[in-house]
Chain A
């Protein structure tokens, strides 16, 4: 069998450094039972070539519980009696992954077709048989370690790239037109012994090819220009459209009067170049946009309504419906608690690092995760009026305000376009009135000036830089989600960090203490029965402890197995414990043991803070958690300015205050409580594990939560800005030389073509130079 890519370094057989399935650091052959099962599954299917074929094993292929979704409802019956299911699959990162998924599904006897798309992370399965098989296929893929969600309209918007396809089609037509017009233009330029008659024939042929090309392929640009005009703005599109249309009309007039040259080649080549620039610009963000859509799809969910046979989508749940929230499930709607009590992790809505207990009748905000027993609640607002939706609307407004941030190229174009137009008009008037040329002849140098000044350099220079930069950042796990994000990141001078989940891992870690391994083992086997974050931290500290039998969980208090108790100090009969992050183990006949926890900093937090400082940014910590905790974390990470107990409003207000003081703030946060601050900041970033609203509000999404890559991205963004400015400078320089030539009437289509091609190549070359420096 062939080996795809570079062979992965094989771990020595005995000293296990990484899990054999997912590749995460591990001291045994497998890091967890899930990976062991997945490995046996892959071997059982005879597909273990996968491990040799894949390019990287970064620990992401860890099997998780199959999503609590009914995939059968998403299976669509086809005309030929088969069924079809479309999924978004997370974790498809290389050719070997699509091979594994396709082959594993093909091994099922009733699967007719399984095709994964590596670019869009989409998987289409077709099979004969009942719709319920969809759940079996989903479970199979989940057991291999991939996470998935039904293909939803939200993903569709991001991946069904109708606009991109139209651009590609237009580029194909423009390129065809440009090449063929060139074919008939070259004889005219070379001035072969063409008689008047033959030259006229050539002109008409050029018009025959050029006119439809300009008409059809220019549509995307004309539409952009029209939208700009409606908004009362001159943009790049309007400049290009005017240039192309004026050139075409002038050439048509020259064709009629059999002038010396027609300029159809210039018009079509310009169109092709512009469309290529536009396509590059889209490609730069497509991958990032798809990754974000994929994250959002994985979070989209269904709600179990009491009395309904199957879970129903969030948006169809009415006010007053009673919903059942399972353990570990995220509450997706605002609701009022019906049960006696519930324990919710509100880290993403308030920033508190420990779960909070709610009593009957208390209001629960959407976004919390159920950490205790399942509970029922009454919905108080539909998905469209709830707190999450209100946040969404707020973000939309903020997004629009930020959409008005003028991109560098647009700023340059705003000065440049009026000047170019005035020059063209003056040239026409000068030749017509002062020199006394017929108006058709006066049109030629005027339009030549227009086409030579056409902001080719601008239109292709900045996208080329963007492609290179977004690609480099993508490889480091920083997804660029907004078109002007890189520019704004380059100008940031102050960074505000959220604590829980951003600066810290967002989950507690066991601290060393006065306990023995046997104590830990006993506590961990009890803890296996709970979803409480502290219990989970115990399990992570002792992953091979077996789950204890007959354990009862008292939400918000602790676990009980006969006389043995694990939980809060009061629950274990030890009086009050004021330190917060602790669990106590009380066993009959033995002294009680205390376990202490801390929400650990991300491993790269200190390095990232240092990198932010090196880039000249001041750093500030702003959290909804208790001030003492915030102060401790700030000291650990080396941050002087910090503030705790910050409500979402206070966070947004702080950003506004900084903005009013003239600071350009980079906000990094992961929760619903950060979304307002993220949206109102100059530039923002959210970890990929964060809440979907936070990601929707951000310009950058950080995969693997890495702060350090973001800090390093600042210098890369600045470098990119420098190169973009250089490129714009080159474009201006070209015009300073070429415009006088055009005004004086010396320009021929040949000169225009040379200027256009060489300036475009120069700026693209300059952008590609970045690729080396970004490495």
Chain B
């Protein structure tokens, strides 16, 4: 059972990484506009803006 000494902290670390990622994504507003995000992925010409400058 010595392997537990490594495996448990590792599991907790990986889980914690996921939780941190979720909280970060939420804080940075990535859940603010789910409908918009779904539509935006289909815009293939978002560099129009630069051309126009």
Contacts and interface: CB of A to CB of B under 8 A. Distances in A.
B32 A106 contact: no
A769 B43 CA distance: 34
Contacts of A95: 36, 38-40, 42-43
Interface in A183-208: 183-184, 195, 198, 201, 205
Determine the main DSSP class of B at the interface with A.
helix
Contacts of A120: 32-33
Contact of B43 (A99, A106, A184, A198): A99
Given A172-B19, A209-B12, A106 B36 contact: no
Contacts of A1: 44-45
B18 A118 contact: no
B39 A180 contact: no
A99 B33 CA distance: 14
B26 A168 contact: yes
B4 A119 contact: no
A179 B26 contact: no
Contact of B49 (A2, A49, A106, A117): A106
B36 to A, nearest CB: 4
A95 B37 CA distance: 9
B23 A169 contact: yes
A201 B4 contact: yes
| Among B1, B18, B23, residue most surrounded by chain A Cβ atoms (within 10 Å) | B1
Contact of A119 (B15, B22, B36): B36
B20 to A, nearest CB: 10
A4 B42 contact: yes
A106 B8 contact: no
Contacts, number: 71
A1 B15 CA distance: 41
Contacts of B42: 2, 4, 95
A201 B39 CA distance: 49
A172 B23 CA distance: 8
- Which interface class (under 10, 10 to 19, 20 to 34, 35 or more) fits A? 20 to 34
Contacts of A660: none
A120 B39 CA distance: 14
B39 A118 contact: yes
B25 to A, nearest CB: 10
B52 A119 contact: no
B26 A169 contact: yes
A119 B32 contact: yes
B18 to A, nearest CB: 7
Interface of A: 1-2, 4, 49, 94-96, 98-99, 103, 106-107, 109, 116-120, 165, 168-169, 172-173, 176, 179-180, 183-184, 195, 198, 201, 205, 209
30 contacts: A1-B45, A2-B43, A2-B44, A95-B36, A95-B39, A95-B40, A95-B42, A95-B43, A96-B39, A99-B43, A103-B48, A106-B48, A109-B53, A116-B36, A117-B32, A118-B33, A118-B36, A119-B32, A119-B36, A120-B32, A168-B31, A172-B19, A176-B16, A176-B19, A179-B15, A180-B11, A180-B15, A183-B11, A195-B1, A198-B4
Given A95-B42, A172-B23, A195-B1, 8 more contacts: A95-B39, A103-B48, A109-B53, A118-B36, A119-B34, A172-B22, A179-B15, A209-B12
